[in-house]
Amino acid sequence: MLLLAFDTATPAVTVALRGDEGVLAEHTEVDARRHGELLAPGIEKVLAAAGCSRTDLTGVAVGVGPGPFTGLRVGLMTARALGDALDIPVHGVCTLDIVAAAVAADGAFAVATDARRREVYWAAYDVTGRREGEPAVDRPAEVADRLTGLGVAGQGSRLYPEQFPRALDPELPSAAVLAELTARLLREDPERLLPPEPLYLRRPDAVEPGARKAVTQA
Amino acid sequence: MSSADQPIVLGFETSCDETGVGIVRGTELLADAVATSVNEHARFGGVVPEVASRAHLEAMVPTVHRALETAGLKLGDIDAVAVTAGPGLAGALLVGVAAAKAYALALGKPIFGVNHLAAHVCVDQLEHGKLPQPAMALLVSGGHSSLLLVPDVATDVRPLGGTIDDAAGEAFDKVARVLGLGFPGGPHIDRAAREGGDPDAIAFPRGLTGPRDAPFDFSFSGLKTAVARWVEAKQRAGEPVPVADVAASFQEAVVDVLTRKALRACKENGVDHLLIGGGVAANSRLRTMAVERAEAVGVRVRVPRPGLCTDNGAMVAALGAELVAAGVEPSRLDLPADSSMLITDVTA
């Protein structure tokens, strides 16, 4: 296998390549405003570092969020187009699960990432690392009330230390972890892989206009 | 199938609410597939950027395949990829740029990030052959109103003027709303005006046409307000609003200014070909008046058919093919989407 993995649902643009024996190359840059510029060159870099050609790829794994929409779409559009042009399957993984897969905790924990507007995307995980329920978007204080003192991985714990005093590593997702997780799921539990559909969790901000305001004073 | 001067180019356009994918071979149009989210925006009275961006992601791959099917080609036949890099809605542009990069990377072909306005000029080559050099271009749409001197669409586009407030198409949308007509306003106003409207019924103001005003800039905000005031006065007096007359008189004011300034620009720059593009170029009165007035001063008008005037991928592919033929360097894979890209930059 030659699996290309990337995630753009957080400030990190992280790309990795995994062969049969494990991860061959990883490239990560953190810049919340330049996902669209960094991803394609990042893909070229990991291919070059591993000495592989794009035509050798056998699959794509992509983080499907939740995450800020603009960056998230860069990853999903890239994954879908690569899958289409190379005629290879595209597998989706929840971005919170990628962070969770790298957590070394000896009990239950949670992952919270930055949803902006003073909210976090979050999910709780049991002692085996399996997610409990669907990811959600809420205010940090509301999430803290529900988590009752659990350690929290992800950038949410760095942004809101008062609500999440027990910060766990990692802060950001890694595409190498995504590649390993996807390879394991393909082997053991392919049903848990997701289609490459974005987890927005929020509706677009748009308000239907009311009655038109007169330009003249009545 | 292709040659250096007749490259097969796949073009992507996502600067607003249209997901456009076009394929050309040189100046020959092979496919023009467009998916639009316009119906999702209608109830908001304007394009909602996040709604448009979500729709682009969902529509892109199916639209690429619709274009390939129409052209009878496979992705492997493509020689180069072109994409609108700007100007436009930032989040919407980014979806097209991401798709174009991924296709270029997967196919191992060059990518050209191009200017949306230059693409609107270049598209006419698909229908009426090579553009004369220089040509004058009047681009009028919901997002733009520009007068451009075009010595060479691949390398040299010079802005002479543009709107200082609302774009022409925006004024059509807003006046349509005042008159209780639908979104987008252009086709509704055009239709209402043709249903017996008198273009001289109401003397609406012609913005920026005074002797000391910038000769090639436009302003439509005052006109829009004047229409609203006139309609509100009728309503307050309890009189019926003559929708056809208001529509025709408003449209006449817009078209009068657009054509007058465009032809003055032709005269002052010694240019005898005027190209009109952008969504408002589909307006029937603009087409008629431009041809009448241009003929009177010996200028030839070129207007692409309406389907090529509105945003589409074929125009982007057309400019991409022109760039390949002109030997212009391709863009790099880190090319950004630039929502306020300047017209002087034909490529990104």
Look up tokens 């790829």; give the residue: A57
Residue A45 lies inside a defined structural domain of this protein:
yes
- Residue B169 near residue B140, CB atoms below 8 Å: yes
**CB pair distance less than 8 Å for A73 and B91:** yes
What does the pLDDT look like over B241-290, one tens digit per residue? 999 999 999 999 999 999 999 999 999 999 999 999 999 999 999 999 99
The whole-number pLDDT of residue B39 equals 87
- What's the total number of domains in chain A? 2
Residue A203 lies inside a defined structural domain of this protein:
no
B316 three-state secondary structure: helix
What does the pLDDT look like over B304-319, one tens digit per residue? 999 999 999 999 999 9
What does the pLDDT look like over B115-141, one tens digit per residue? 999 999 999 999 999 999 999 999 999
**Do both B159 and B234 map to the same domain?**
yes
CA-to-CA distance for B1 and B8, rounded, in angstroms? 8
pTM of the full structure: 0.95
β-pairing verdict for A22-30 and A12-19: antiparallel
Give the one of A81, A214, A215 whose C-beta lies nearest to B99's C-beta: A81
Give the one of A36, A39, A205 whose C-beta lies nearest to B50's C-beta: A205
User: What CATH number does residue B92 fall under?
Assistant: 3.30.420.40
Q: A86 to chain B: nearest residue by CA? A: B106
**Do both B145 and B231 map to the same domain?**
yes
Q: Which residues of B are annotated as a binding site?
A: 116, 120, 139-143, 173, 186, 190, 283, 311
The whole-number pLDDT of residue B167 equals 94
Residue B129 lies inside a defined structural domain of this protein:
no
User: Which of B101, B111, B331 has the most A C-beta neighbours within 10 Å, making it the best mutation to test the interface with A?
Assistant: B101
Q: Which chain A residues touch B102 with a CB distance below 8 Å?
A: 40, 77-82, 85
**Do both B159 and B53 map to the same domain?**
no
Q: Which residues of B are annotated as a binding site for substrate?
A: 139-143, 173, 186, 190, 283
What does the pLDDT look like over B181-239, one tens digit per residue? 988 899 999 999 999 999 999 999 999 999 999 999 999 999 999 999 999 999 999 99
**What residues does A15 pair with on adjacent strands?**
A6, A27
**Do both B110 and B186 map to the same domain?**
no
The whole-number pLDDT of residue A75 equals 98
- Per-residue pLDDT at A207 exceeds 90: no
What does the pLDDT look like over B49-95, one tens digit per residue? 999 999 999 999 999 999 999 999 999 999 999 999 999 999 999 99
Domain region containing A117 = 103-168
**Do both A33 and A129 map to the same domain?**
no
Please give the average per-residue pLDDT across A200-217, as a whole number. 79
**Do both B111 and B245 map to the same domain?**
no
Q: Which of B341, B278, B348, B340 is nearest to B320 (CA)?
A: B348
Q: Which chain B residues touch A216 with a CB distance below 8 Å?
A: 228-229, 232-233
Q: Provide the percentage of residues in chain B whose pLDDT is more than 70.
A: 99
Q: Which two tokens stand for residue A43?
A: 């893909």
User: Which of B84, B333, B335, B341 has the most A C-beta neighbours within 10 Å, making it the best mutation to test the interface with A?
Assistant: B333
**CB pair distance less than 8 Å for B98 and A198:** no
Residue B338 lies inside a defined structural domain of this protein:
no
Q: Which of B182, B183, B187, B196 is nearest to B246 (CA)?
A: B196
- Per-residue pLDDT at A172 exceeds 80: yes
**Do both B157 and B294 map to the same domain?**
yes
β-pairing verdict for A90-93 and A12-19: unpaired
B101 Cβ under 8 Å from any chain A Cβ: yes
**Do both B10 and B42 map to the same domain?**
yes
The whole-number pLDDT of residue B3 equals 67
CA-to-CA distance for B232 and B56, rounded, in angstroms? 39
B90 Cβ under 8 Å from any chain A Cβ: yes
Domain region containing B152 = 135-305
> Which value does ipTM take for this structure?
0.96
The whole-number pLDDT of residue A212 equals 73
Residue B146 lies inside a defined structural domain of this protein:
yes
What does the pLDDT look like over A105-150, one tens digit per residue? 889 999 999 999 999 999 999 999 999 999 999 999 999 999 988 9
Q: Which chain A residues touch B337 with a CB distance below 8 Å?
A: 36
Q: Which chain A residues touch B98 with a CB distance below 8 Å?
A: 36, 39-40, 73-74, 77-78, 81
**CB pair distance less than 8 Å for A36 and B48:** no
Confidence of residue A217 (pLDDT cuts 50, 70, 90): low
Q: B180 to chain A: nearest residue by CA? A: A212
Distance from CA of A182 to the nearest CA of B (A): 21
**CB pair distance less than 8 Å for B99 and A78:** yes
Residue B271 lies inside a defined structural domain of this protein:
yes
**What residues does A151 pair with on adjacent strands?**
A109
- Per-residue pLDDT at A153 exceeds 80: yes
The pLDDT mean for chain B works out to 96
Confidence of residue A216 (pLDDT cuts 50, 70, 90): confident
Residue B340 lies inside a defined structural domain of this protein:
no
The whole-number pLDDT of residue A206 equals 73
Chain-centroid distance of CA A79 in Å reads 13
